[in-house]
Every structure is written in structure tokens, then in C-alpha cells.
Structure 1
Amino acid sequence: MLLEGEGALGTGMSVKATETCKGCTSSVKVTEAQIERLLSKIKPSDRIDDDSYKTRLEACASCDGLAYGTTCMHCGCLVRLRASLKEGRCPHPESQVNPKWLA
């Protein structure tokens, strides 16, 4: 499935959405408003800069572990939240050898 327009990651780009997580159903889909509300609760001092955030989201958008356009299948996190954190790290198993997020 390909999501276009605003983009599930809020970047305006098209993203591939994998919906194969056996533990997830449509009831776990998160709305843009819910994600924005959660993002607003993160202290500015804990956030990464905007350019690095966009780079991280681009990596997530091209990852085969992205489910529903919002969720990482490697850890279950909402990628926009994890990607916004200075201390956030990509949980992809290959990321320890070949980092997906450089910032």
C-alpha cells in the first residue's frame, strides 16, 4: 500500500505502509491529531533539530519495518516520536552494523 499526499509520517512524501503485524489490527492506527498531541508533550531540550528529524523520517519511510505508516515493527514505537528524540536510536536489527539514522 502506498500512502500519498500529506504522508503518514507528516512529511508530504509518499510512504510504503506495511500492514502485516500479526498483533496489530485497524484499531491500533493512530491519527495525526494523536501523534501531534504526543509530540507536543516532548520538551524542546529533548528534541533533535528539524533537519535531522526529517532525515530520520525519510529513513523510516523507506524501511520495510514501517507498519500503518506510523509504527516501527522492530520495536512497536511510533516512529515520529522516536525520531524526534535526541536520544532516539533506530531499532532496526541491522542498525548496529549499518546505522539507518546518522544523527
Structure 2
Amino acid sequence: MIYDAECWPAKRKHTNKIYVAKMRMLRWMCGYTRKDRMRNEYIRKKVGVAPIEDKLRKSRLRWFRHLNRRPIEAPIRKIELLNFAHIQRGRRRPKKT
């Protein structure tokens, strides 16, 4: 579910959807249903799984370290040095493409 998560900006909405799906899978693994009213912390501790926010942060930091190991002449590193302060967007909505 979090494949390539280091490349897309994870919003709160995305994180919540992943969290809900993950908890559903963990409940299914343990044999619990929502009617059993088991707390998420208890299920996560029983299975031994870290919270999804930690996993997303870890993958983003791994990608950042990968980029920093590249030489300064690499195109991806040249983007870091660009200054976008002089670029302004229009006041209207973007045109449909």
C-alpha cells in the first residue's frame, strides 16, 4: 500500500485511508471483528506492527538520503539549487488540459 510513498506527498486524508485499511487487515489476521471492540493499540501491540506514519517517514528519509548521495552535477541535485522566488502564478484558475 505504501509502495513508492517517498515520491508522492502524503496528505492527512491519504494517511487515514492507509491506516484504516491496515487496521482492517490486522483485525482480519487476528480473527477480531469490529463487534469485538478491541482497541487498535492492543491489536497493533499483539501483532508487533509500527504506526503507518513512522513507516511513511522512514521511507521518505531513505529516499532523501539516496538523493543526497548523488553527485552535485546530477540533474536531481541541480533542482535543489534553483530559486523559484521570482516565478508567480496567475490569479485565475489553471487552464484545462
Higher alpha-carbon Rg: 2
Flag whether TM exceeds 0.5 (same fold). Answer: no
User: Given the two structures, how large is their TM-score scaled by the length of structure 2?
Assistant: 0.27
The structure that is strand-richer by fraction is: 1
TM-score, normalised to structure 1's length? 0.25
- The answer to which structure has the higher helix fraction is 2
